[in-house]
Amino acid sequence: MDRRLFLGAAGGAAALAAPALAQASPEIRWRMPSSFPRNLDVLFGSCERLSRRVAELTDGRFRITPFPAGEIVPALQVLDAVQGGTVECGHTPALFYVGKEPALAFFTCVPFGMNRRQMAAWMRYGDGLALANEMFAAFNCTFMNFGDTGTQMGGWFRKEIKGLDDLKGLKFRISGFAGNLFERLGTVPTQIAPGDIYPSLERGVIDAAEFIGPYDDEKLGLNRIARYYYAPGFWEPSSMGGFIANRPAWERLPQQYRIAVEVALAEIDTDQNARYDAWNPPALRRLIAGGAQLRAWPREVLQAAWREAHGLYEDTAAKNPQFRKVWESYRTFRNEQYQWFRVTENAFESFAFSEAARS
C-alpha cells in the first residue's frame, strides 16, 4: 500500500473520530436550584456532591451547578422553575407541592408511612418510581429520589404538649400532607421555607416548628427560641429528597450522562442518611446540654393522629383518583413491610436498645 495513501486514510479517520466523539459527549451545563439554604451542609451538600460526581463520571463534560434556596429560584418554587424550563433540574422535596397534587406527598413522606429502607424498597422494587414519574409527567418533569434524612424529630414547641388540648389553635410550621393532619387535630398549620423558619418563630408568627433533626435544627438555632423538643416525627418516618429534571431536557441528554446522574444519586442515597445517623446523636447531646427539653409525644396524641391520618387518606382518595391509585399501592406495600419489620427489626431493636440504655 502507498504509504502516503495509508497516512492520509489514517488522518482522515482521526479527523472523523474526533468530531464524532465530541458529538457523543458534548459539553453541557445545567443549573440546579435547591429548596434548602447553603448552611444546611448535609442537604445542600448533597447537591454539591451530585455536581462533583457527575463531572467526574463524564470527564467534566456534563456539569450541574447547584444554587441554594432563593439565589436564583425561591425555595418553594423549584418545581415551577423546572416545569417551565427556566432551569434544567432542581433539588426539592415533592411534599412542598401537595397544593398542586396531594399524591406528591407519597414521594417524600406521609404520616405513619414507611421508613427509609422501606421507601427504598417501594421505589426500586415496588411501584414507587413508576408512579412518581407518572405524577411528575403532568408537570413536564422526570423524578428520581435524592437522599433521605431517616426518621425525623417532632419539632420545637414553646410550651409543653401534654395532650390533644394543647394542640388547639397552635400555629405550627409543618410541611406537606402532615399539615392537613394537624389541621384535623386542631392546629393552624403553615408551610414556611426552611430559611424562614427561625425568623418566623422568633417574631411569633408561629408557635412551633418542625424541620428535620438535631444536626440541622441546631444549625437553624430553633432551640434558642423554643425549648421543648418532641420525638418522633411520626409524620416523617423517612423523608426522601427529590431530583426533578425538565423532561425534554432530560430526554435530550446523552445516555451516559443520564447514567452518571443515576449513579451519583444512588451514592447519595446511602451517604446522606449515613451522615445524619453519624451526626445527629452528638448534636442531640449538645442541644440537651444547652437546655432543650426532650419529650415523647403523649400516647393520646399518637392514637388520635393515627386515626385522623387514615381518615384523611380515605377522604382524599374518595375525591382524587390519582391519590387513590398511589395510596393503594403505598398502603399495601407499607402494611407488608410493617409485618416483616415487626418480626425482625422491631423485635431486635426493642430488646437491644432498652438493654443498652440500662447497661
Reading the block at residue 293, the C-alpha cell is 427539653
The residue type found at 244 is I
Helix boundaries (H) for 65-196:
78-84, 116-125, 128-137, 177-184
Output DSSP code: residue 58: T
Q: Is 152 annotated as a binding residue?
A: yes
The residues that bridge with 8 in the sheet, in sequence order, are none
Pair 31, 246: CB distance under 8 Å: no
Pair 166, 301: CB distance under 8 Å: no
153: CB partners within 8 A, 6+ apart = 210, 212, 213, 214, 217, 229, 230, 231, 232, 233
Among 77, 54, 135, 131, residue whose Cα is nearest residue 102: 135
Distance CA 197, CA 184 (A): 22
The residues that bridge with 111 in the sheet, in sequence order, are none
**Dihedral (CA of 139, 145, 151, 154) sign:** negative
Q: Is 211 annotated as a binding residue?
A: yes
Q: Is 173 annotated as a binding residue?
A: yes
Report the Cα 354 to chain-centroid distance in Å: 30
A 10 A CB-CB count for 119 gives 27
Distance CA 339, CA 328 (A): 17
Distance CA 72, CA 65 (A): 12
Reading the block at residue 177, the C-alpha cell is 400532607
The residues that bridge with 32 in the sheet, in sequence order, are 66
Binding residues for substrate: 152, 173, 210, 236
Binding residues for Na(+): 211
Binding residues: 152, 173, 210-211, 236
